[in-house]
Amino acid sequence: MKSPTTLLLLSLFTIVLLSCGGSDDSPTEPEVIVDPDPIPGQTSTYTAHVKTIIDSNCIECHGDPLDQGAIMMLLTYDQVVDAVNNRGLFNRIATMGINSVMPPLEEGGRLPQVTIDIVEDWIADGLLEQ
Ligand code: HEC
Which pLDDT belongs to residue 2?
A: 60
Residue nearest to atom 18 of ligand 1 (CA): 100
Any atom of ligand 1 within 6 Å of the Cβ of 101: no
pLDDT beneath 70: ranges in the chain: 1-2, 7-29
Q: Distance between CA atoms of 128 and 92, rounded to whole angstroms?
A: 20
Q: Which atom of ligand 1 is nearest to the CA of 100?
A: 18
pLDDT of residue 104: 98
63 lines ligand 1 (CB under 6 A): no
Whole-number pLDDT of residue 11:
63
Distance from C-alpha of 129 to C-alpha of 77, rounded to nearest angstrom = 7
**Mean of per-residue pLDDT scores for the chain:** 88
pLDDT recorded at residue 22: 45
CA 42 to ligand 1 center in whole angstroms: 27
Closest CA to 54 of 119, 129, 104, 130: 119
The pLDDT of residue 127: 98
